[in-house]
Each structure stands twice: as structure tokens, then as C-alpha cells.
Structure 1
Amino acid sequence: MNLNMSSAESLVAQIQGLSGNLADLTQLRNYLKQSDDSLHLESTRLAPLLNELDPSLHSLGYLYILEACTSCPIAKEQANEFVLLVARFMNVCAAEQIRLASDKFISLCKRFKDQVMLLEDPMRGVAPMLAALRKLQTSTEQLTTLHPDFLLLCLLSKCYKTGLSILEDDIFEVDQPRDLFLYCYYGGMICIGQKQFRKALELLHNVVTAPMPIISAIAVEAYKKYILVSLIHLGQFSTSLPKYTSSAAQRNLKNFSQPYIELVISYSNGKVSELEMCVQTNKDKFETDKNLGLVKQVVSSMYKRNIQRLTQTYLTLSLQDIANTVQLSSPKEAEMHVLQMIQEGEIYATINQKDGMVRFLEDPEQYKTCEMIERIDSSIQRIMMLSKKLTTMNEVMSCDPSYLGKVGRERQRFDFDDFDTVPSKFNI
């Protein structure tokens, strides 16, 4: 297709006339597929056609033309115009149309992400990318290839709360394994930024234990953060990974994370001086990994763990004694730690500032308020839903031809192995 006046008018007419229903859209998609190479050849002359189309009504045709227009390298002075144009399309396009050319839409969105990063303004990409991935999803259970890009923009722009909005979804459908690795890794970092350490542990655990034929850089970096968050949130870390972890991860993760394993050993001794010495020894490595901030939180958490141990032994204790026992510099610093732990619900205590005494209390929660009953009921409902979902997935998997074929091959192999163990006098 050489783009003269008549062919351009014909293209616009086809798009306008075939954007009304699914049958027409299927016909339009086939037409645009046949014209795709020609559109890219004429990419520099297509921009005026966009003015004749409504991106909300003619989304499929608009997508093909816009993707072709932006397929060439974008000059720096045109980057801002590109971002505005694509962001508007991502916000207003019709989901049912762009899903007919999902590869084109993904390609356009990734170019958009690259441009906002080149402009060093990732916040501009957050809202449009969220709109785009929601339109690309067929359900909230689907992980799209745009999820990691969206979370990366949230991280770079520190829009952590916006990133959390998609991390609340339960994911059951994954197209590309790499997308899951990045989604869980970036998601874990966002949860760390919001101090939601329990959720961060869950996501980082998924990266570390996911099937992998060879060790990946993402898994190594996730493992390092997994160690640090475990120490902060749980006060301990086990170097033994679950049995379902891949052999590649079992063999190699510790070898790539020796300073962090040393930190675990120092932490388990419960002595702040040893822990700080370990941090100082490996400071350059922690800084290179951009984990020094988390490491400092690990040190701070040891003070909290040591204070929590005191609550199991004493009913009352002076701030001076607390400072001496947990190796804090002064009673004032001990008071600050205790107050913070009371506010965060990590201990239950009262401070008598007049005589500098702390009285440790029992957990006041009786588990009989309406709010607590609602929380328990909500948790039960969620567990029932997940159980039902897992049962359904198990039934689907048990009927999958590739799965049955693999099981059949393995069963046949074991049958032959059993046959080989029969006494020789029965061998034929």
C-alpha cells in the first residue's frame, strides 16, 4: 500500500466503518494485519490520519497507526509529544478492541515506559500504565507483561501506595515466567518501602523458590532482600530452603550471598556489637547492592528483639537497665525504642517517666470485638476461596494433555525399572 490520498482515505474509512461490533472488528484486524508492513514503510506520513480517528471508538485502527508512527527512533525534542499522545490513548482506548492486537498494544506501552524513563519523569507513566494493564487483563487473576513495567515506574517515582493497588490481587494466570519474577521482585521492594514486611516476604519467597533451570540475577537479588526482611520482620532466617525450591537455587544462592549469610550468623548471636562489626566489614558490598538502608533496619530490629525478650522475663524494669542490657547508649534512647514498639503494637507496656520505670503488660486483645470477628470471618472466607480455586486448578491440570503425557512417560520408565528387578530366570 503506497500511502497516497485515496489509499489513506480508504484506510480511515475501513477503520471507521468496521469498529462497531466484534464481527466487523475481526474483519478489520485481518485487514490491518495485511497492511501492517506497508504502514511501517509509510510510518513518517501516518500522523495526520490520527486526527481523523477517535481513539475511544476506533481503538484498534488507531493502535495500528500509532504503533507504526512510533516505531522509528524518537528524537529527544519529540519525546514529550509522544508521551502525551500515547498516555491519552492508553487512558481512553476500548479494552475489547486493543485485546484483539495485544502484542501491538504491549509494544506501544513498553515504548511509552522507556520514554518516560528517558525523560527522567517516571511519575508521568504511572497512571496511564495502570489503566493500560487493567484494560489488557481479562481478569484481575491474570499477570500481564505490563505489570512489572508498572511496578518499576511506581518504584522509581516512589508511588508505593499506587503499586500496592495491584499487589492485592491474587494471581493465578502467568504467561511468561520472567514477568512473575520481576512482578514479585519489584512488588517486594514496594512492600518494603511501605514497611509491609509480611507481604514483602511472601513476594520475595516466590522469586527464590520459583522453578528455574539456571540461577538468575533477579533471584540472587531477591534472596539478599529476603534474608534482610526475614531478620527485620521475624528476627531469624533459615538458610534451608523448602524442598520444592529448584536445585539451581539450592546450590547457588548462598554462594552469591556470603556477606548476608554472615549477617544472619551475627544476628543469631544476639550481640549488637558483633552485628555492627559484621555490617562495617561488609559495608561496601551492602552499599553496592543498594541494601545498606535495609541492613541498618536489621541492626535496629535487634534492639527491638532484645527488648521483646526482656518482656518474657521481667514485669518491671528501669530504662537504665534496658539500655544496659540491649546495649543502647542512654535511658533516653531506650525510652524512644520502647515508645516506638508500643505504638507499633510490638509490645504492651507503660512508662513511668517520673521514676524511669517500664511496666510490661499482657496482650489486651480478647478476640471478642465485632471488628476482630469480622477480620476472622474475612480470613476464613478468603481461605475457603483459595481452597476452591486450588481444587479447580488441580482438576484442570489433571486433564492437561502435556501433563498426562509426562506422567505417562515417567510411569512407563518406572515400569521398565521394576521389570529389570525381576529375577533373571524370568527374563526373556
Structure 2
Amino acid sequence: MSQAGSSTATAATAGTNHEVVNLDQLVQEITTSTDSKALNVRLHTFGGKDRDRLLSGILTNGQDPLASLDPEQHTLGYLYILSARLSPNPGHHHPSLRVIEDFCLRFKPEEARLAPERVTTLAKNIVHVTSQNLKYALTPLYNLLTRYPPSRSTLTTIHTHFITSCVTVHHYATALPVLSHPITNVDPKLTDLTYNDNLLYHYCGGVAFAALKRWEKAEEFFEICVTAPGTIPAAIQLEALKKLTLVQLILYGKTKPTPKYTNAVLGRLLRASAYGNFVREYPASISKLQTSISKDIETYNTEKNMGLINQVIQRAPRWLIRKLTSTYVTLGLGDIAKEIGSSSEDEVRATIVSMIEAGEINATISVDGNVTFSDLTTTVTKAQIDQALKNAQAQSKLLLELERTLTSSKEYLSKALKQRENDSYAMDDDDGPGGPPSTFNQWGDIL
């Protein structure tokens, strides 16, 4: 028996009222309780500062207390004990993965919501105990995430742990069922969410979409991270802006202005960085771009952006060819090769054929190697129109529900009124600190 277990099996006193603390008695209360709120108070105060150590013990008969409980019938008690047993403190005998998965699949959400801080602790500790093989955390975290909040569009701390775990083990597709639900609600009573949780969720979501080459969604998630309001920009927001910039070069061949409410400090930091220099030279021939990045190659590798940089460079000839279509009607393959800095007409031909097949340009290539460009024609089917209308109606309904929720919130109305009366919150382009905190580095290895 471990020291934690033996100390729990005996009675102890805690608090100023000399309450008897006994795990056997607590398990009995859990199995007989008919008042979940009262039970939650009891579990929360059990053992005082020694609560988790005591909850991690075993019964006087040597039995695991979880063996006496059912995840569905005794959700609250099971949650407190399981989250304590999974803590990183030495001496704890961690439950098996099967026990963890069984709870996450069967617990009663409405009871678990009475103890949101324990749900956060459970998610964090699941990541801890599976850290040697983090892929085993994905299934229990997914079940916990999809069952705990009342809506799939409600952001919780579990989202952050799940998405970061998916990205860490490169299981990007596993994250898609969660990322596909847009976040429209945050309930502080449901989860002890922090500002950083929101940033991490959208940053790692952007990484997952970029890894899957779903560039539009990657752009959306990185932009949400970048534009999250804050007086001082977080370091992760600058990293998101770097990736957002590279994704936009892949998508559009150029960057797009960030929304006006983006912290101005971020833009200044980017323009003064290696990425700012790269953007100013893009698009150009592959050889010129490779020469350009050579002096900053260590920076790109350290920040785990070299993969994106290479994809941006490989897209450069296509953007140069797109530019030619607005100037020329007919151009020879050899002339195009010179314009884009290629030494091979065959490579140019293959690129143009690929662009035609992808619908990026409208052109024909003659037998003698002349390329004739014409305007792109867009064909929209009835099915596409119907789907667009369906999506618009769904978004309209979602926005209406969100507006009703916001306008019924006294806290929101109070803050909105205060903001109208005082518009000095906006940061001038020359205001603010010289840069974001330098503590952002723990996520570099996930890319």
C-alpha cells in the first residue's frame, strides 16, 4: 500500500471544526446522496488542503474506491476521485486507461457541470498520465469534450487540451470533428477558461488545417488568434500572424490587411522581421526567393515554419504566371520560362496544365508551344446555389441566437454602454510596448 493510501485509510482531522475525514465514509455518502449540489460542496471541502492526497488513497479493506462507484450513477464522486488519482504527485497509483475512457464515455454531463474546475483538472491530468504516448489521450478527451458542454459551439478548457494533443502527435484529421464547429459561446460558469485557452485553441486549429492543406480554414483560425483583443499582444499571436501571412501567400499570392481592431504592435513586429522582408519580395523566381531566405534560414527552422516557407516558394511560379495573364493574350513557353525564372519549358508546360486543371487560369497550349490566355468563366450549379443559401440561413439563425443571448446579458449591456462612453481603449499605431512577451516557445516543437 502506498503512503498516500495508508494515510487515507485512517481517520484524520481537518479544518477548525475538527471534522472527521475518512474516505470510506465519503464513498458511502457518494453512493447514498440524493442532493448533487450538497454532495459537490462536501467533495469540494473534503480534507481541506489535503483533499486530493486523501482522495487518491484506497479504502480500509484495500479496495480501490472507484471499484465501488459507477461513472453514470455517481458522476460527481467519480470525477473528484479520478481527477485526484490522475494527478502528477508521486506515490499515486494511476487508474488504467480503460477506467478513464469508461468515465469519459458514461458520465452525466449535468452533474459534472457542478464542478467545472474538476473537469479541467481531469482533462489536464489525462494529458499528463499519457504524456509518454499522447495519442491515448485523444479518445477520452474527445468524449469528454463532446459530452460535457451543452453545445458543441461552446469553448471549454477541454478544447485546448484536445487540440494541442492532436497537433502534438500529428493526428490532425482527428481534430476536424471538433474544429468544424464554430465557437460562438463562452460560459465562465461552465469552465474556468482563460484568455490563453482561446488563443491556443485557434492557433493549434490553424496548424491542423494548414497541415491538411485546408488553407481557407487555416487562415480563418490564425486570424481569430491574431485579432483576439488585448492591451498587450501575446507572443502566440505574433506566431499566428507569421503563419497567417504565409498561408495568405499560398492562397492569394499576397497578404491581406488585418482587421482594424488588430493590435498595431503585431503588424510592426512582423514588418521588421524576416517574414516582412520575404513578403516584400514575393512573388519572385524560385531561385531568387531561395537566395532571399538563406540568410534567415535558422529563424524559419527554429520557429518551425520552414515547411510553410517551402510551400509558399513552390507556389511562386503559379502567381507569376497569373500576373502574365493580365498583361498578355499569347506568350510562348520559352518567354514564360524567362519571366518566372525557370530553365525548363517542360516544367512550365506542366505547371500551366496543372493550373488549367485546377481552374486557376483559362488557357490553351498550341503544338508549337504558344500559350493563349483568356478570361476565367465561373460556372455555378443549382446544387451549389442551394447549398450556399442553406449555409447562409444556418449562419443567420446562429447569429440571431447569439444576438439574443448577448442582448439578454446584463454584464454585456453594461460593458457595451461603458465602451460607448469611453473610446480611449483603442491603441494608436505608435502606442504600446516594443513587443510581446518572449515566453512563447513551448509550442514550437508541435509544428
Per the alignment, residue 182 of structure 2 pairs with: 170
Work out whether 1:31 is the aligned partner of 2:45: no
Q: How does 1:114-153 map to 2 (within 5 A)?
A: 114-117=128-131, 119=132, 121-153=133-165
Pairwise CA RMSD: 3.1
Per the alignment, residue 102 of structure 1 pairs with: 116
Q: For residues 73 and 333 of structure 1, what CA distance do their matches in structure 2 show?
A: 60
Deviation at 1:185, TM superposition (A): 0.6
Per the alignment, residue 57 of structure 1 pairs with: 73
Q: For residues 275 and 53 of structure 1, what CA distance do their matches in structure 2 show?
A: 63
Per the alignment, residue 266 of structure 1 pairs with: 281
Q: For residues 342 and 150 of structure 1, what CA distance do their matches in structure 2 show?
A: 40
Q: For residues 331 and 271 of structure 2, what CA distance do their matches in structure 1 show?
A: 41
Give the 3-state SS of the residue equivalent to 2:151 in structure 1.
Answer: coil
Q: Is contact 2:406–2:412 with CA below 8 Å preserved after alignment?
A: no
Q: Which consecutive residues of structure 2, in runs of 5 or more, have no partner in the other structure?
A: 1-6, 12-20, 187-192, 424-447
Give the 3-state SS of the residue equivalent to 2:147 in structure 1.
Answer: helix
Moved over 6 A (4+): none
Deviation at 1:397, TM superposition (A): 5.9
The structure, 1 or 2, with the larger RCO (C-alpha pairs under 8 Å, 6+ apart) is 2
Q: For residues 175 and 357 of structure 2, what CA distance do their matches in structure 1 show?
A: 26
Deviation at 1:303, TM superposition (A): 0.7
Amino acid at match of 1:377: L
Of the three residues 333, 356, 366, the one matched with 2:379 is: 366
Deviation at 1:41, TM superposition (A): 4.0
Amino acid at match of 2:69: L
Of the three residues 57, 64, 80, the one matched with 1:44 is: 57
Seen in structure 2, the aligned counterparts of structure 1 residues 340 and 398 have a Cα distance that, compared at 3 Å, is farther
Q: How does 1:370-389 map to 2 (within 5 A)?
A: 370-389=382-401
Deviation at 1:188, TM superposition (A): 0.8
Amino acid at match of 1:50: L
Of the three residues 309, 313, 332, the one matched with 2:323 is: 309
Deviation at 1:317, TM superposition (A): 4.5
Deviation at 1:186, TM superposition (A): 0.5
Q: How does 1:245-264 map to 2 (within 5 A)?
A: 245-249=262-266, 252-255=269-272, 258-264=273-279
Q: For residues 159 and 313 of structure 2, what CA distance do their matches in structure 1 show?
A: 33
Work out whether 1:406 is the aligned partner of 2:418: yes
Seen in structure 2, the aligned counterparts of structure 1 residues 64 and 233 have a Cα distance that, compared at 3 Å, is same
Q: Is contact 1:209–1:249 with CA below 8 Å preserved after alignment?
A: no
Give the 3-state SS of the residue equivalent to 2:136 in structure 1.
Answer: helix
Q: For residues 378 and 416 of structure 2, what CA distance do their matches in structure 1 show?
A: 51
Of the three residues 290, 314, 320, the one matched with 2:304 is: 290
Deviation at 1:144, TM superposition (A): 0.5
Q: Is contact 1:83–1:112 with CA below 8 Å preserved after alignment?
A: no
Amino acid at match of 2:339: T
Seen in structure 2, the aligned counterparts of structure 1 residues 408 and 263 have a Cα distance that, compared at 3 Å, is closer
Per the alignment, residue 419 of structure 1 pairs with: none
Q: Is contact 1:91–1:131 with CA below 8 Å preserved after alignment?
A: yes
Deviation at 1:66, TM superposition (A): 1.6
Deviation at 1:241, TM superposition (A): 4.1
Per the alignment, residue 421 of structure 1 pairs with: none
Amino acid at match of 1:264: V
Q: For residues 304 and 376 of structure 2, what CA distance do their matches in structure 1 show?
A: 37
Q: Which consecutive residues of structure 1, in runs of 5 or more, have no partner in the other structure?
A: 412-428
Per the alignment, residue 222 of structure 1 pairs with: 240
Per the alignment, residue 197 of structure 1 pairs with: 215
Seen in structure 2, the aligned counterparts of structure 1 residues 358 and 389 have a Cα distance that, compared at 3 Å, is farther
Per the alignment, residue 300 of structure 1 pairs with: 314
Deviation at 1:210, TM superposition (A): 1.6
Q: Is contact 2:80–2:118 with CA below 8 Å preserved after alignment?
A: yes
Q: Is contact 1:95–1:135 with CA below 8 Å preserved after alignment?
A: yes
Q: Is contact 2:271–2:277 with CA below 8 Å preserved after alignment?
A: no
Per the alignment, residue 341 of structure 1 pairs with: 355
Q: For residues 8 and 296 of structure 2, what CA distance do their matches in structure 1 show?
A: 64
Seen in structure 2, the aligned counterparts of structure 1 residues 275 and 346 have a Cα distance that, compared at 3 Å, is same
Give the 3-state SS of the residue equivalent to 1:73 in structure 2.
Answer: coil
Seen in structure 2, the aligned counterparts of structure 1 residues 231 and 107 have a Cα distance that, compared at 3 Å, is same
Seen in structure 2, the aligned counterparts of structure 1 residues 408 and 205 have a Cα distance that, compared at 3 Å, is closer
Q: Is contact 2:8–2:58 with CA below 8 Å preserved after alignment?
A: no
| TM-score, reference length from structure 2 | 0.79
Q: For residues 405 and 22 of structure 2, what CA distance do their matches in structure 1 show?
A: 50
Per the alignment, residue 3 of structure 1 pairs with: 9
Amino acid at match of 1:301: R
Per the alignment, residue 127 of structure 2 pairs with: 113
Q: For residues 393 and 247 of structure 1, what CA distance do their matches in structure 2 show?
A: 31
Q: Is contact 2:88–2:129 with CA below 8 Å preserved after alignment?
A: no
Of the three residues 77, 99, 102, the one matched with 1:88 is: 102
Seen in structure 2, the aligned counterparts of structure 1 residues 409 and 339 have a Cα distance that, compared at 3 Å, is closer
Deviations 1:354-389 (A, max 9, x none): 65555545545432x232222321243144235424
| TM-score, reference length from structure 1 | 0.82
Q: For residues 100 and 67 of structure 1, what CA distance do their matches in structure 2 show?
A: 15
